[in-house]
Structure 1
């Protein structure tokens, strides 16, 4: 029972045109920069915004108000009802659909057991941790047995230490969920870990989709390349030489012909104070334009032909005494460069 959605939303200065399919048991992650249309797509699927033609197994949802759609939603801030107990929060959707209180509470208790929060049934949401509140919101969304589960930045409100654990818990629950799941996120790690397929949205349209491993290997836009942490260029290949559209030439190990994308990881880039002797097949001068500390490495942004990102160790930063404005030599082995047709 594949879910088919044709979402068309028009407003001043923006148009969403998204054709989406989700298989039963599949988790699809919708990623994109701010303003790409992710939230608009979620609202259209939920029935909170007009412009969505949606069908599952021949049954259409067009025109159905939000409360009539077989959809469960976990919002970014969870939106639990502060004046209700945890149990009443989970039972709310069932009661709103006409289920008797005793039956709704029994179902809600089963879901609280499922997410490991039975002992909090009588608690108020304000007493919960962020991870517990997220699990209550998930139980509330699933209690009505929805055909479509919408997750709107479900981990964004959590601190870093809690996020890792809750992401793992959420992944286990999604494996058991037989319906269709759409995860809306800006976090590539959430998408890579939780989703079976990525759909990348920019300016209201799909620019790339596929399994996470395929998107990582062959990004099609600058946004996607930045998302997965790769240096990304467009150029024209002639054998083992690629002339880049924005300036500069790179030598590659595997011959190619015609228009290509060129990618390589920042970790493949080496930096030297002077031109290295016996250097790799690609060397050029560049100027440091930015330095940013990451967990275990330092990201160096360099202007040159081409401009490039390099990930280096703290020891390298200290040895080179890196500062913005410094002129350095960049080196890159041809074997580290990957090309594919564009």
Structure 2
């Protein structure tokens, strides 16, 4: 069964108009900036927010098709893992997981037996009697996942499931979550703002901006060929739009870049910040793009320094700390930026 969702929701001035398709066993990540409509889409799929148009269908079953059909959350075969997990504080881990089967009509003994099986699957059999306040963040996340899967849902909704974890815990829990998602035969929608979570966990990415899908594809496709500034920033690339005439691309925002492979017509041009060299004078040597820039900002990242540069075009450069010291970089400094033509990737816009 395929999940087909034509999500159309109007709330005041905001309008969501997005189509989603999720196949059995597939993990689709929904990404976008704040206010893009990710939470609205998740709430609509969960049955917490009725559509104002469109439809939600799983196979031959229709969950929402205004104005005639609307199945609320309790009538949909779904499981949800919320950002803050929302475990019942007064219940043990076992009772939290058993809640779903009990709510679906299972007897107490059967529900507890199913809960115990799921706690064992997520590696928490020894914490069955623990209350949520005694669990670590990673353990609470696994209890929430077990609770969501214990009812055998057809659709699993993950709302920023790793956001509440610290960096060290997140790495381990992400790997564990990926293992469980690979074993899950149903449909999974992961809502996240974290590109690494999406790239590692999802089979396909869907990017929302202003309530509309602006790009979708495999993680590799999206990372290599971003189509909006948000996506380019998400995957850490410089992105420009322009018109190609052979190896020259006239940029929409001004300036010209030289590419290695000839192209014709409207294109996007991308290259990574670490491909940008900074020089006090006009560089010489192998054929390259070079233009004057002014340092607009300097940000320290893990092992590199990101330099924001104003120019035609503006550009981001990732350089070593040694380069910052050698050039004595300060905001307002004038330099030359250089990028080899072979580092630029152009594709039709």
Aligned to 2:334: 327
| Corresponding position of 1:139 | 146
Superposed, 1:261-280 pairs within 5 Å as 261-278=268-285, 280=287
Cα distance in 1 between the residues matched to 2:174 and 2:128: 22
1:18 is the counterpart of 2:25 = no
Map of 1:42 onto structure 2: 42
Report what 1:287 is aligned to: 294
Aligned counterparts of 2:290 and 2:129: Cα–Cα separation in 1: 66
1:184 aligned to which of 188, 191, 196: 191
- 1:244 is aligned to 251
The 2-side partners of 1:282 and 1:314 are apart by 23
Q: CA deviation at 1:274?
A: 1.5
State how 1:158-177 maps to structure 2 within 5 Å.
158-177=165-184
1:299-314 equivalence runs, <5 A = 299-314=306-321
Does structure 1 residue 94 correspond to structure 2 residue 98?
A: no
C-alpha displacement at 1:269, in angstroms?
Answer: 0.3
Residue 197 of structure 1 is matched in structure 2 by 204
Structure 2: how far apart are the matches of 1:182 and 1:320? 47
**Alpha-carbon distance, 1:107 to partner:** 0.1
Q: Could you list the per-position Cα deviations for residues 26-58 of structure 1 after superposition, in whole angstroms to 9, with x for gaps in the alignment?
A: 000000000000000000000000106221220
CA distance in 2, matches of 1:162, 1:191: 17
Deviation at 1:60, TM superposition (A): 1.4
Per-residue CA deviation, residues 52-79 of structure 1 (Å, 9 max, x unaligned), is: 6221220111211111110000000000
TM-score, L = length of structure 1: 0.99
Between 108-117 and 215-224, report the one with greater CA deviation: 215-224
1:73 and 2:80 aligned: yes
Distance 1:90 1:278 in 2: 65
1:275 Cα offset (Å): 1.5
Q: How many Å separate the matches in 1 of 2:131 and 2:285?
A: 68
Asked if structure 2 preserves the Cα contact closer than 8 Å seen for 1:279 and 1:331, the reply is no
How many angstroms apart in 1 are the aligned matches of 2:283 and 2:26?
Answer: 50
Of 51-60 and 154-163, more deviation after overlay is shown by 51-60
Give the corresponding residue for 2:57. Answer: 55
Answer yes or no: is 1:209 the counterpart of 2:211: no
> Where does the alignment leave 5 or more consecutive residues of structure 1 unmatched?
none
Q: Cα offset for 1:217?
A: 1.0
Distance of 1:20 and 1:305 partners within structure 2: 38
Q: CA shift at 1:279, angstroms? A: 5.7
d(CA) in 2 for partners of 1:234, 1:255: 16
Deviates more, 1:277-286 or 1:120-129: 277-286
Pairwise CA RMSD of aligned residues?
0.9
Give distance in 2, aligned partners of 1:10 and 1:277: 56
CA contact 1:53–1:60 (8 Å) conserved in 2:
yes
Give, in whole Å, the separation in 2 of the partners of 1:123 and 1:11. 41
